Structure formats: structure tokens, C-alpha cells
């Protein structure tokens, strides 16, 4: 029986690459996005559906339409997300809530909409896209790290729950990936009147703006997502990208004080 995956945020970047990978493997793909009318994804085993992870009605309509179209959902890729960057004090309350509504509450809502189907099937794999930033932090990303640390904890705990009926939930942690993430998906917010932060903001922009920083193609993440969905193991975490592998190994080898000292040295704090 042909298997089906539902992907959130499939318009660009990692979600789009995953849609292409699963189609190439012969899966049915429910490629969901906020504006499906502007997508150029094509394929026989593809259904483009509108889904905004912050809009409950759109989630339930997309899941129902997907089930009607392909009959089942074997895998869910919670990929939709973006990064807020800047001093906490510079953000409005609405911006803070939008970051958590998208990256955390949206992921929870889509998962809750798909789980009844997986429970009925007694199988399924959910893959949650976290980040190296779900396990370590850098200055001015307090909101983004907050969401990705939340995704890590949610996933780790949920794995016990889903095992009770034979489903799995896994975490993919990409490093730097060449997508729209650092462009249109970055909510960079600053207030020059917050003078104390400005020297560090300058340094952070300089480090993250370096064009020769190593970064991977989104197809690398799609390969890892494919592995996570299909390897049949209970493995919880998968890094994606060579930089992610090195960063995670270094973080695991260090205690908190050593890691913090390293970040401070890197950013001249
Ligand atoms: N690129 C990296 O270096 C990197 C590293 C680690 C983790 N990640 C994670 O990878 C995931 C995908 O990001 P990307 O790198 O592929 O960037 P991207 O190309 O900018 O893709 C982000 C996707 O999220 C979607 N999205 C944002 N808000 C949404 C909402 N409310 N409802 C539905 N979709 C929404 C966007 O849809 P629209 O087209 O409608 O805006 C877009 O499809 C994110 O969770 C990100 O945190 C990225």
C-alpha cells in the first residue's frame, strides 16, 4: 500500500525538499502551506493543501481533505517555522506570541489533528524539525531557542506516549541550511535606543552574516527526514548537516560553563 506523508511549510526550503524526496520515493505527499496557489510543486502523487499552523480550521480542513484524498496518513513532518532574533526587550508581545504560536502551538495542533488517525492505524511516524538551536543557544535568539527547546521536550515526552500504540515521534536537528530561513523567515527586531545591546548586536550580525559560513543544501535534511521516517528504529534524535554533527558533539563534550565561555569568546562578550 502506498504510504502518505503530510508536510507543513512545504512552500520552500526543507519542507519543499522533503516533499520532493518523498514523491521521488513513491509516497503520496500532502504538501501543506499557507499559499498553495503560488506553489510550483507538481507530481502525480501530490496534493497541495492550504494549512496555516496558527489557524485551527485550516489544520482540520487540510487533515480531513488529505484523508479523503489518500485514505491514510502514515507520517507527519512538522516543519513550518521561523526565527525571531533580537533583544527580548525590543519585541512586542504580539511578536513573542506569534513565534510560539507558530513553532510550538502550531506543531502541537497539527500533531493533535493527525494522532487520532495514527492511533486508529496503530502506526505512524511524526518528525519534528528542531534545530541545533534546540540543544544550545546563541545571543539574541532567546525566543527561537525557547520554541525549539520546547519542541525537544515535547517530542521526547511524546515518544513514550505514542509507543503505547506503535507510533513513533522523532526529532531532526539541522545546522545551517541554505533556505529562506535567514531571509524572509527571520523576524529580526532591534531598537537602537536600547544602547547597551548594540555592540553585541553588531557582533552577532557580523558572525551570522558571514557568507562563507558552512551551510548545507535542504536536500541533506530531506535525506535525514527520509531516514527518520523509514529506518524502523526507535532512535529519537537525528542531526542534519556536518556543522550540526560537529556542534552537537562539541556541546555534548562540554559542561555548561565551558560552552557558555566558548560562546562569549566567539561573540566578544
Ligand atoms: N535553514 C536553517 O538554517 C534551519 C536550521 C535549523 C532549523 N530550521 C528549521 O527548519 C524549518 C523550515 O525552515 P527552512 O529553513 O526551510 O526555512 P524557509 O524556507 O523559510 O521555510 C519556512 C516554512 O515555514 C512556513 N511557515 C511559517 N509560518 C507558517 C505558518 N503559520 N503556517 C504554515 N507554514 C508556515 C513558511 O511558509 P510561507 O511560505 O507561507 O512563509 C515556509 O514554508 C523551520 O522550523 C526552521 O526553524 C532551519
Percent of the chain with pLDDT over 70: 100
Which are the contacts of 229, defined by CB distance < 8 A and separation ≥ 6?
A: 5, 75, 77, 125, 127, 170
Predicted pLDDT at 175: 97
CATH number at residue 22: 3.40.50.720
Which are the contacts of 37, defined by CB distance < 8 A and separation ≥ 6?
A: none
* Ligand 1 pocket, CB under 6 A: 8-9, 11-15, 33-35, 52-54, 79-83, 102, 106, 129, 131, 174, 176-177, 179-181, 185
- b/e code 223-250 from CB counts within 10 Å (16+ = b): bbbbbbbeeeeeeebbbbbebbeebbee
Q: How far is the CA of 91 from the centre of ligand 1 (A)?
A: 20
Residue 213 in this model has a pLDDT that exceeds 90? no
Predicted pLDDT at 221: 98
Q: Is the pTM above the cut of 0.95?
A: yes
DSSP character string of 101-131: IIIIIHHHHHHHHHHHHHHHHT--EEEEE--
Predicted pLDDT at 212: 79
pLDDT digits (tens, 9 = 90+) for 98-155: 999 999 999 999 999 999 999 999 999 999 999 999 999 999 999 999 999 999 999 9
Residue spans of alpha helices (H) in 164-241: 198-208, 218-230
Instruction: Count how many domains the chain has.
Output: 1
Residue range of the domain that includes 262 = 4-267
Torsion of Cα atoms, 27 then 30 then 31 then 32, to 10°: -160
Percent of the chain with pLDDT over 90: 95
181 in Cβ contact with 164 (< 8 Å): no
Residue 211 in this model has a pLDDT that exceeds 80? no
Residue 67 in this model has a pLDDT that exceeds 90? yes
State yes or no: is 185 an active-site residue. no
Residue 187 in this model has a pLDDT that exceeds 90? yes
53 in Cβ contact with 107 (< 8 Å): yes
Residue located via cell numbers 487533515: 63
Q: How far is the CA of 3 from the centre of ligand 1 (A)?
A: 24
pLDDT band at 181 (very low <50, low <70, confident <90, very high): very high
Amino acid at each position: 500500500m502506498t504510504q502518505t506523508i503530510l508536510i507543513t511549510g512545504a512552500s520552500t526550503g526543507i519542507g519543499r525538499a522533503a516533499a520532493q524526496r518523498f514523491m521521488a520515493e513513491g509516497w503520496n505527499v500532502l504538501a501543506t502551506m499557507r499559499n498553495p496557489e503560488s506553489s510550483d510543486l507538481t507530481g502525480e502523487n501530490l496534493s497541495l493543501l492550504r494549512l496555516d499552523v496558527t489557524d485551527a480550521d485550516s489544520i482540520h480542513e487540510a487533515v480531513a481533505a488529505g484523508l479523503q484524498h489518500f485514505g491514510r496518513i502514515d507520517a507527519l513532518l512538522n516543519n513550518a517555522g521561523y526565527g525571531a532574533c533580537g533583544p527580548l526587550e525590543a519585541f512586542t508581545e504580539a511578536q513573542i506570541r506569534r513565534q510560539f504560536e507558530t513553532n510550538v502551538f502550531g506543531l502541537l495542533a497539527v500533531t493533535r489533528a493527525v494522532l487520532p488517525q495514527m492511533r486508529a492505524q496503530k502506526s505512524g511516524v511524526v518528525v519534528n524539525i528542531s534545530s541545533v538551536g534546540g540543544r544550545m543557544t546563541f545571543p539574541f535568539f532567546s525566543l527561537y531557542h525557547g520554541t525549539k527547546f520546547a519542541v525537544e521536550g515535547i517530542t521526547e515526552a511524546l515518544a513514550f506516549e505514542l509507543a503505547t500504540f506503535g507510533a513513533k515521534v522523532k526529532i531532526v536537528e539541522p545546522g545551517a541550511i541554505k533556505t529562506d530561513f535567514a531571509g524572509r523567515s527571520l523576524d529580526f527586531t532591534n531598537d537602537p535606543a536600547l544602547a547597551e545591546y548594540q555592540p553585541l548586536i553588531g557582533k552577532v550580525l557580523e558572525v551570522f552574516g558571514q557568507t562563507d559560513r558552512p551551510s548545507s543544501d535542504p536536500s541533506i535534511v530531506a535525506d535525514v527526514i527520509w531516514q527518520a521516517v523509514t529506518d524502523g528504529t526507535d532512535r529519537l534524535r537525528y542531526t542534519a548537516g556536518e556543522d550540526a554533527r560537529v556542534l552537537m558533539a562539541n556541546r555534548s563534550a562540554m559542561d555548561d560553563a565551558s560552552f557558555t565561555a566558548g560562546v562569549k569568546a566567539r561573540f566578544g562578550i
